[in-house]
Amino acid sequence: MRRDLLVSTTIIRNGRVIDPANRRDEISDLFIVGGKIVGSKFAIRSPQSEIEEIDATGLIVAPGLIDIHVHLREPGFSHKETIESGARAAAAGGFTTIVCMPNTSPVPDNAGTIAWIKDRASAIGCVNVLPTGAISKNLAGEELAPIGSLAQAGVVAITDDGHCIQNHEVMRRAVEYARMVGVPVLDHCQDYNLVGNGVVHEGYWSTLLGLPSWPAAGEEAIVMRNVLLAELCDHPIHCQHVSAAGSVRLIREARGRGVKISGEVCPHHVALTDEAIQNFDTNCKVNPPLRSRTDVDALLDGIADGTLSILCSDHAPHADFEKEVEFDVAPFGMIGLETELGLFIDLLVHKHGRIDIVRLIEMYSVEPARLLKLDSGSLSTGARADVTLIDSGLEWTVRVDQFQSASRNSPFDGWKLKGRAVRTIVGGKTVWKL
């Protein structure tokens, strides 16, 4: 039998298979043939196979994790990150699918730029890279991008992330067009009039340090706007990087009435409070800002009761020379792909006990797949073999200098965490292992 005609077969032995989409949680084997999940009988009856066996004893075998909020910076800002380096960082973090945001240059507000991103990702990306399209032309918030053309080009959602449309009429029309073509709307919730030139959360530390403040109401006002538009247009609006207690209350109340509104949480918004800015560490300057302990507790409650249904990174790479400036003028953002899973397992499962590991995996698989209508997020027979192996009890130390990302702007260097991905499999092939 010629080697190039052999069917690749992988058997993952003795792992704890957690597949929330199929309500499966058991010690079992998982069989992969030709890049697809198959039943054990089919795998055994495939003698013309090149077989790899992986011992997953003591490990969790999960559907490939999905991060729906990643900045890959390419095209236009490859000194920060590229599609290739960002995909490697995702694989090292345990993610088989990432959704990239549109604040690049040129902006993906047209089918041509979307095609370039998809072609580039297909050529050099080791994980699945799914593009979003801009809501407005050039992210200016004034004139709608051709949403129908973007949907035909293959975007999984539309968003002006990094910017927020202030004109409510423009946003309403965007949601209506999105409904017609069947893509969800993701929104960066920021009222520019309320936020002004703020760089940190409005509270004790902004006052003490004399830094321009950013009130939580600047987020909450747009969350309220989105609740009203989601109800008016009967179409999903997803609030990105929720950080404020008031936002959680608004989303909880609206979801209780059946409004198609949802929210996501980033690890830094539950791992840190605004106290972290006291040494003017620009790696702690993020948008929206780190908030108070009251806000963090509200986020944890929202995760526990299902109000906030998705976990993600808001991976925002910047070069060292961009961050090594005065706090006021430094860019917003921190990297997160390689630390988010460890932070969330450590904080949500081990330390706070707000959710169990099954729900955490569901928030990284079933929930994002449902929102974006993705054919992924499960270990069903016939599904593409995207799989993440996790050691939830592994204790490790974050070493930023060992990251796969092209940037190093993380405040978590040296943190000791419990839980991380140890192998990432995309389409049946291992793309990263510890």
Mean pLDDT of 176-194: 98
Contact 368, 314 (CB under 8 A): no
- Which residue reads 């909880």 in tokens? 252
Nearest to 232 by CA among 160, 151, 144, 171: 171
Nearest to 403 by CA among 133, 120, 168, 81: 81
Question: Is the model's pLDDT at 48 over the cut of 90?
Answer: no
Calculate the alpha carbon distances from 16 to 124, 173, 297 in Å: 32, 46, 31
Mean pLDDT of 180-202: 97
Q: What is the pLDDT of residue 1?
A: 44
Q: Is 29 helix (H, G, I), strand (E, B) or coil?
A: strand
Clarify whether 161 is annotated catalytic: no
> What's the rounded Cα separation, in Å, for the pair 299 and 290?
12
Between the two ends of the chain, the Cα-to-Cα distance in Å is 33
- Our CA angle for 16, 20, 24, nearest 5°, is 50
Predicted TM-score (pTM) of this structure: 0.96
Band (15; pLDDT cuts 50, 70, 90): very high
Q: What is the pLDDT of residue 141?
A: 97
Question: Is the model's pLDDT at 344 over the cut of 90?
Answer: yes
Do β-strands 310-311 and 261-265 pair in parallel, antiparallel, or remain unpaired? parallel
Contact 173, 147 (CB under 8 A): no
Residues contacting 306, CB < 8 A, separation 6+ = none
What DSSP state is assigned to residue 154?
T
Q: How do residues 282-291 score in pLDDT, each as one tens digit?
A: 999 999 999 9
Mean pLDDT of 186-209: 97
Q: Is 145 helix (H, G, I), strand (E, B) or coil?
A: coil
Mean pLDDT of 375-402: 97
Q: 396: burial class by Cβ within 10 Å (0-12, 13-18, 19+)?
A: middle
> What's the rounded Cα separation, in Å, for the pair 409 and 337?
12
Q: How do residues 246-280 score in pLDDT, each as one tens digit?
A: 999 999 999 999 999 999 999 999 999 999 999 99
- Which residue reads 């549109």 in tokens? 102
Peptide bond into 289 cis (omega under 30): no
Nearest to 19 by CA among 420, 422, 341, 378: 378
Q: How do residues 346-364 score in pLDDT, each as one tens digit?
A: 999 999 999 999 999 999 9
Domains (ranges, CATH) in the chain?
Answer: 3-61+383-433 (2.30.40.10), 64-372 (3.20.20.140)
Angle formed by the axes of helices 83-93 and 111-124, to 10°? Answer: 60
Is residue 28 within a helix (H) or strand (E), and if so which, with residue range? strand 24-33
Q: What is the pLDDT of residue 342?
A: 98
Band (8; pLDDT cuts 50, 70, 90): confident
Q: Of these residues, 187, 314, 346, 386, which one is catalytic?
A: 314
Q: For 386, phi and psi rounded to 5 degrees?
A: -100, 115
- Our CA angle for 91, 96, 102, nearest 5°, is 90
> Hey, which residues does 30 pair with through a beta bridge?
12
Q: What is the pLDDT of residue 51?
A: 86
Mean pLDDT of 88-94: 98
**Mean confidence (pLDDT) of the chain:** 96
